[in-house]
Structure 1
Amino acid sequence: MSETQQDSRPHLRKTRVGVVVSDKMNKTIVVEHVARVPHPAFKKIVKKSKKYYVHDENGEAAVGDKVRIVETKPISKLKCWKLAEVLSH
């Protein structure tokens, strides 16, 4: 594939920004992502939260850190996200 075709492809990997709620496991953190979405019936904006198990190879993130995560191929039964960067401590 040439570089021009590769540059025109859409972003295939999803990214999320969230807060680390747990770092008790080895090489794994739990990140809570809060999305503001309209309610299906009433159209009022509500907060919807979801927790993701994220691979943190070097143990960079700590509880309370704001982080960016990127979707990857499955690493284990629950983990299919990896840590991209720590935005703030």
Structure 2
Amino acid sequence: MAIGLNVTEPEEPCSDQNCPFHGSLAVRGQTLEGTVASTAMEKTVVVEREYDVRVPKYDRYMKRRSRIPAHAPPCLGLAEGDQVRIAETRPLSKTKSHVVVEILGGDE
């Protein structure tokens, strides 16, 4: 089942209703890339993104990071340190509004 993004579909099937490939979850809106920082929660990963913010007073840049909770379908088999692409979806819980759609690479 195509999800409307140019991503490769996982080979392994799953029975998760919130899987964009094998369930009924629709993806929409923005797609982001980041690193999996935590896999401690069940069916949830925390994706961390680093970006630079300009500090006008010192005319320099400082690093900031954002941590985004995302749904992890079991068919993807995610691990900490993986580079992933996440897509926006409807709210799945109080904090989750994204789902992992692709693994871009391993530990970097």
Q: TM-score, normalised by structure 2?
A: 0.64
Greater shift, 21-30 or 37-46, is seen at 37-46
1:38 Cα deviation (Å)? 1.7
Partner residue of 2:70 out of 54, 57, 73: 54
1:45 aligns with 2:68: no
**Corresponding residue number in structure 2 for 1:13:** 29
CA distance, structure 2, for counterparts of residue 43 and residue 14 of structure 1:
30
Aligned residues: 78
Runs (4 or more) in structure 1 with deviation over 6 Å come to: none
Higher strand share: 1
Judged with a 3 Å threshold, the aligned counterparts in structure 2 of structure 1 residues 45 and 79 are, in CA distance, closer, same or farther, namely same
**Corresponding residue number in structure 1 for 2:90:** 73
- Secondary structure of the equivalent of 1:14? strand
**Corresponding residue number in structure 2 for 1:83:** 100
Judged with a 3 Å threshold, the aligned counterparts in structure 2 of structure 1 residues 40 and 55 are, in CA distance, closer, same or farther, namely farther
Q: TM-score, normalised by structure 1?
A: 0.75
1:13-54 deviations in whole A, cap 9, x for unaligned?
A: 122211111112111001111112322544422211011110
Partner residue of 1:35 out of 38, 46, 51: 51
1:23 aligns with 2:39: yes
State the identity as a percent: 36
Judged with a 3 Å threshold, the aligned counterparts in structure 2 of structure 1 residues 69 and 48 are, in CA distance, closer, same or farther, namely same
Q: CA RMSD in A?
A: 1.7
